[in-house]
Structure formats: C-alpha cells, structure tokens
Amino acid sequence: MKNLEEIHHFLAEHSWNSRYWIEADLASADDGGLELLLLKEVAFIRDSGHPTLSLELIALAQANGFASSWLLDNQARAHIRLSEYAVAYQIWRDLLVSDVENSLRQSCVRALLNFKAFDALAHADLVLQRSSTQEFDSGLAIATDLIRSKNWPALQAVLGSLTQQLWFHPIISYYRALACQGSGQVSDCLMICDVLLAREHPDAGFDQRVRELADSIRNDRSLHYDIDVYQAKLKGCFAEFGWHPVVVSGREQSLSILNKAVVKEAIFARDSGLTRMSLAILNLALLYEDNNPWALENKARALCLLGDYREAMDICRDILRIHPKHRAKDSALSMLENYDRDYKLASIYADVARLVELGVEQRQQALLTLRDSFAVGFGSEATKLMRVLMQAKSSECASSKCIELQDAWSSLKAHAEINRGLSTPAQSLKRLQEDVSS
C-alpha cells in the first residue's frame, strides 16, 4: 500500500513547493493517477535543477509502495544531470531487457542512442534477439548496401531506426561496430565487440567476424593502441603541469573507458585554468581515436580560449562533416557562429540573398541587414549583393513608409566600421565603394 504521508513529510521537510503533488488532485486519484502525479513531480524537481532531491524522492517512493518502472527511467535521467553516465546507462540497459511496456522500452532506446551507449544496446541485441522477418531483412539489406558504399552516417541512421522500432539482433550491433570503425570511433567499435564476444553466439562464423574486427583494431599500430604507453604519457603530462587527476585513475584497462575519462579530465583542467594541459591530453586522446567527437569538441574549446581560432574553426567544420547527427555538432555550430567570421558572413549573405529575391520591400531590409554585417567584416560576396541591391529603383517601392534605397545606402556607408569584430575586412571600404559605383 502506498504511504502518501511519507511523501508529504519529505517535500515539506525540504520546503518544496509542489507543482503536481497537490492534496486536491491526490484525493481524487486512483493508484495509476497517484503514480502519474509522483512521476510528474519527480521530473519537475529534476528539471528545476535538483537531481539529487529527485533521486531521494524516488528512493523514498519505492520504499513506500510506489513500483512504477518509469521511476527507474527518471532515476537514470537524474544521474545524467549529475554526470553519472555509467550509472544511468546501466539502469536503462537493465530496463530495456526486463519485462516492461514497449513505450518505456522505446524511451530507454532513445536515451541510449542519444548518448551513444552502444555497449548497452549490444547487450540488448544479445538478450532480446528476435527472429528475422521480411521487414527486418529489408532493413539489413539497406544497411549492407551502405556498408559497401562506406556511407557510415547513413548506416548509423538506418541501424538507429531499426533499434527504435525495437528490432534486436546481434547483427545490428556488429554493423554498428563497423560504422564506428569506418568513422574513426575505434573505442566505440571495441566496446561493442567486447560485449558481443562476452557471450558465445550460436553462429561460430559470426563470433569469428566480430573477433577479427576487434583484432584488426588492436593490431593496428597506426592507432598507437598501447594502454600502458598511453597511461605513461598521461602521467607525464599531469606531472608537467602539477596536476592531480580527478577522473583518470590509472587503472583503466580499455581504450574506450580511458578516452572517456581523459575527455572529462580535460574539462576539469580547462575549467581550472589549465587550458594548455587540457589541450595536451586531448591531443593524446586523439592520437588513439582521431575522430572522437567529444575530444574534438573540447579541443576546439581549448583552442578558442588560447586564441587559435583558425584551427578551432577547422575542427568545428570537421565535427559537422564527420558527426552530423552527434550532439557535439550543436557545440561546433555555436563556436562557428561565435568565433568564425567567414561562417557568420556566409550566413548573413545567404539571408540577404533570400531577402533580395522577395521583392523591393524586402530589399530595404536586405540592405539594412548587410549594413549591420559590417560590424563583422565583409567579403567579395558583399560587393555582388550591393550591386544587385543598387539596381533597384526607389520608385518601385509601393509603401510610403519604406526607406529609399539611396538613403539606406548612405546610411550603410556611414556605419561601415568594418574593423570592428572578429576579423579584419577582406577589402577596404574605399574599394567596396568603387566596385559598387562601377
């Protein structure tokens, strides 16, 4: 039986102003309604910035008669907020292979795919293996074609779609391992292979293929895969900067675990002001896994702090190209927008060109947008857009309130402080005026 008083007492003790756990709603709720109100309150507490309090409430509820499996899903999400990823992945993995409703299973799958916890999904592929059907075989046929064409991002998308439809089979994880290897994410590839090889497969040929894939990575000396040498290099770097490791224990025995620890260590170092050490250990991580998205993203951040914007922006473009669907992409885009002059100007010019096509009224806005872009700088594309804009006649403007193009052009010249911003201009304002006038 559910003990509501304990929940009331807990919330009152922590001076929590409930959003959903309200007496009036509780009085009319059945058991299912009580579970739902509790889940909403747990999520609200977590999303309000109190994941630890959310976890404490979940534990209390479980001890007082609440048994919804969705509480475990919320428990995992709270651990994510606390950066306790391994704990969260374990919870979602166990939920996924347990006897739960499909909606909860799909929630776990989405979370594990989002965080690229491919080892947990490999475990599910082993435990929940389903017999093949025509629909499943069609999906695998598409995946096989993508492997032949080495289209790794598309392959990951197809495999993700199969998993989200709750198809589970070891071949999915094997193909996912191939995609990781092809895109340079060797630690993820090895992590998947290790899980698949932990349980003997009925098809000995399948086990052989997985083993050969793992061995090909471990035997590739170009990957510098020597965990002891890697650990020694890290220790030397820590000693050089007088740093006492926070995350790296020195006991990590797999590349995937060590690289994840190194990225977290780099973040701690950067936030502590040791940006150069952060960069140094990220460079080590990238020696062992050159396309690790989080290592690349954090390296770009470190380079920005050190003022090396050119290399940082090159890395951000690499992230967009190699990992178009990874969460690191959002950070890369943000850095490009904040620091990269060419990217900023290209975005502005595209917007101006779009406005130009919409008619004379919008050309006024286009010219003002172009004027505002002078705070960043300008390139040759600005000259071409100027010519297009100046070809429009002010008499074509239908609105009595619209600004005449010539007046806007004069305003533009008056505000052309093109040396402000992130980069010097591509050409002088005098040259720009001559080009437009000619």
CA distance 428 to 410: 17
DSSP 250: S
The length of the chain in residues reads 438
10-residue mean pLDDT series, the chain (438 residues): 85 90 84 90 92 93 90 93 84 91 93 90 92 86 94 93 93 95 82 86 87 83 66 89 91 84 95 90 87 94 83 90 90 85 75 76 74 67 69 48 50 42 36 43
3-state secondary structure of 227: helix
Question: Which pair of tokens denotes residue 311?
Answer: 């290399």
In terms of C-beta density within 10 A (0-12 exposed, 13-18 middle, 19 or more buried), how is residue 56 classed?
A: middle
Q: What is the pLDDT of residue 354?
A: 81
Query: Cα–Cα distance between 283 and 262 in angstroms, integer?
Result: 10
| Nearest Cα to Cα of residue 418 among 429, 410, 408 | 429
Name every residue whose Cβ is closer than 8 Å to that of residue 371 and which is 6 or more positions away in sequence. 408, 411, 412, 415, 416
The answer to whether 285 and 263 have CB atoms below 8 angstroms apart is: yes
Sign of CA dihedral 265, 267, 269, 275: positive
Q: Angle at Cα 96 formed by Cα 190 and Cα 213, nearest 5°?
A: 15
Determine the Cα angle at 323 with ends 103 and 249, to 5°: 85
The pLDDT value recorded for residue 39 is 93
CA distance 86 to 352: 47
What local confidence, expressed as pLDDT, does residue 216 receive? Answer: 86
As to burial, measured by CB atoms within 10 angstroms (0-12 exposed, 13-18 middle, 19+ buried), residue 391 is exposed
State pTM to two decimals.
0.55
The encoded tokens of residue 194 equal: 């290790």
* Cα distance between residue 292 and residue 284, in whole Å: 12
Measuring CA to CA, which residue among 371, 367, 397, 389 is closest to residue 436? 389
Residue with tokens 């020694």: 232
Find all residues with CB under 8 Å of 84, minimum gap 6, and list them: none
CA distance 254 to 138: 35
Cβ burial of 32 (10 Å; 0-12, 13-18, 19+) is exposed
Report the SS3 class of residue 237. Answer: helix
Find the DSSP H helices in 373-404.
380-390
pLDDT digits (tens, 9 = 90+) for 34-69: 999 999 999 999 999 999 999 999 999 999 889 899
Over residues 180-214, the pLDDT tens digits come to 888 877 778 888 998 898 887 778 889 999 999 98
Buried-state track 201-214, b at ≥16 Cβ within 10 A, e below 16: beeeeebebbeebb
Q: What is the predicted pLDDT for the residue at 391?
A: 63
